[in-house]
Amino acid sequence: MKRKLSLLLSLLMIFTMFTACSKQGAGTETSNSDVIKIGVFEPLTGENGGGGLQELDGIKYANKMYPEVLGKKIELVIVDNKSDKGEATTAVTRLIEKDKVVAIIGSYGSGVSIAAGDIIKNAKIPAMGASCTNPMVTQGNEYYFRACFLDPFQGRVMANYALQQGAKTAAVIMQNGDDYSVGLGNFFIDAFKELTNDPNCIVDVSEFQVNDTDFNAILTNIKAKNPDVIFAPSSATTAPLIIKQARALGIKSLIMGGDTWENPSVIEVAGADAEGIVLSTFFDENDPATEEAKKFVEGYKKELAGKEPIIPAVAALGYDAYLLVRDAIERAGSTNGEAIKDALKATKDFEGVTGIINFTEEGDADKNIAVIKTVKGGQFVYIDTVEVK
């Protein structure tokens, strides 16, 4: 038994070497056949598995709705990057070398996208990130684009909103070690300082650790300084704890968060304390921004069939990412990486689910709208669609 097993294992290894080497010639034919391959690399297992799957569902749904381009069928080649950087680089190389994809979509989580960036750049295959918000993803990489708005924009939107509500001072709570939270928090601070023209308007900046559940020390400190608003970009599991504990301490300030807060579990856990919190998000299913959005909300609700109570924003972004790539291939009229990249760059007023999309010089979505929501009667309620130029 032992012998057979070890023989099997060594054979497996030798076999890999050969398959890995021999397949290289096969790829060139596919570009001429009747299928166009688009690679999708997402974390389907590991730390970010949940978010990755939501995003993938959106992409798959888009593929179902728009299965063809240039008269050919689009085939999605899905690879898992295990939320791991090493794995992400091999996954992307695989897509490029073995599957000969013409473009790549992904990934949830900025770290893996940054790791894949250089490979994408060297291979000259355009890539479209859906929800990776770290500015470094597209920085200095003309082949990487993304469909979501960036932390600077979101930070500015929230600072603007706070100002409109008459806030003069703010406190910021960030999650130490989380690039999303720290990035968004810092951009809020910059924007708020600039808008109020007051360098002392940020009365307190605190950071907490991953998996912290007790925020009393931070909140007591904040209470003493009595800010008008508290901005606490954090995950959906941490948010309700912060909200609950703040209200329990008798803090009356307006509490604001980012797009991650649009999650039913925030209301479920925080209960009545969640009333009145404000958050910004990519799109609102009750007030679709575009025609495409209306169609998407209707169709996707049916597709989800109650699996999730609200449409996750990352699914909408995944959908948009796919449409953007498909649209670029259509306009490029070819599957050449360079041509698709140029077509993506030339994208003009593309009507996506999450708003009208253009690209900046860096390849970031230059969106003009963000949706602001609050919680009222145990529901997320739409307040305003903010346009920032």
Partner 1 sequence: MIDQRKKHNFKLYNIIIFIVFVAFITALDLKFLGDDYVRRVLSLAAIYTIVSVSMNLVNGFTGLFSLGQAGFMAVGAYTVAIFTVPLEKRAAIFYVVDQNPVLAQIHLPFVVALILGGLLSALIAILIGIPVLRLRSDYLAIATLGFSEIIRIILTNAKSITNGALGIKGIPEMPTMWVFFGVMILSVTLIVLLINSSYGRAFKAIREDEIAAEAMGINLFKHKVMSFAIGAFFAGIGGGLLASLLGTVDPKQFYFTMTYNFLLIIVLGGMGSISGTVIASFIVTIGLEVLRFFDEPLTLLGFNIPLFRAGFRMVIFSALLMILVLFFRNGLLGQKELSWDMITSWFNKKTLRRKEKGGAL
- Chain residues in the site for partner 1 (CB under 8 A): 1-3, 5-6, 9, 12-13, 15-17, 19-21, 24, 42, 44-45, 49, 56, 77-80, 82, 84-87, 89-90, 93-94, 96-98, 111, 114-115, 117-119, 123, 134-136, 139-140, 176-179, 182-183, 186, 209
What is the CA 2 to chain-centroid distance, rounded?
47
The first and second tokens of residue 330, run together, are 């259509």
Judge contact between 120 and 338, C-beta under 8 A. no
Provide the 3-class DSSP secondary structure of residue 350: strand
In whole angstroms, what is the distance from residue 43 CA to residue 59 CA? 14
CA-CA distance, 331 to 344, in Å (whole number)? 9
CB 168 within 8 A of CB 202: no
Distance CA 102, CA 123 (A): 11
Three-state SS for 384?
strand
Two tokens, residue 66: 């728009």
For residue 289, the 8-state DSSP code is S
Helix (H) or strand (E) holding 127: strand 127-129
Neighbours of 17 (CB within 10 A): 9
